[in-house]
Amino acid sequence: MNQRLLMIEDDQRLAAMVATYLNQNGFDVQHSGTAADGLQQLQHAAQPFAVVLLDLMLPDANGLDVCRQIRSFPTPLNAMPIVMLTAKGDPMDRVIGLELGADDYVPKPFEPRELLARLRAVLRRQQGAPAASNDAERVLRFGRLEIDLDARTIRLDELDRPVTSYQFNLLAAMAERAGRVLSREQLMDAVKGEPLEAFDRSIDVHIGRLRAAIEDDPKQPKRIITVRGAGYVFAKAQDV
């Protein structure tokens, strides 16, 4: 069964080209030319979308603002994977998009095959939550923090802490290896992501978003600790 994709893109020619290609490769593409219509489709779709392909520059809104709005939706809409498209080449746009909750970022112009590969990778990450070490126990608990691997939810002090699918997989990978220092390369491998490119700091951006979600003070983290020159470690013993 094809996976439903919503493409929010005002370039009609590009949208038609991408839709034709993706429809031939396992997707059912719905198109919206404006942010307002795209958000309306997301909230009132008879069948949920599997992923959103979101342009950065739209006639009625900035794609970053649309990304922020999607992440403010109720669960499970707020966890829907978002892949952003942009004609801008500024690396800061990519960082800002990731900080706002985008799962991936594809600059224009792009090869349709690359876009397809990135969409499939994002969906694999969403569907491939790390397995628990004990099949009978699918909830990881660390003090006030609870990570439900089956429901794919994070709760702190009994309150939901929404994150993207990629960020959930990243946190689960670290939590299941609590107490072990993991390099960026090991984390990318653990969440089945793309190979880490030289100087790629996307992991750091996602760690920052996770800290904002689960730390009492993200500037002084006590759950996800940076080990300078080595990577990150998820604190095994937590009294916070």
Q: What is the pLDDT of residues 145-186, one digit of tens each?
A: 999 887 788 999 888 898 888 889 899 999 999 999 999 888
pLDDT recorded at residue 201: 67
CB 43 within 8 A of CB 36: no
Domains in the chain: ranges and CATH: 3-127 (3.40.50.2300), 139-234 (1.10.10.10)
Nearest Cα residue to 151 out of 161, 179, 142: 161
CB 140 within 8 A of CB 168: no
What is the percentage of the chain residues whose pLDDT exceeds 70? 87
Quote the tokens at residue 151: 């429901």
Structure confidence by residue, pLDDT tens digits, 62-86: 999 999 999 999 888 888 999 999 8
**Spatial separation of the C-alpha atoms in residues 231 and 125, rounded to whole Å:** 21
Q: Which residues contact 60 (CB under 8 A, 6 or more apart)?
A: 34, 35, 36
Q: What is the β-pairing status of strands 224-227 and 27-32?
A: unpaired
pTM reported for the whole predicted model: 0.60
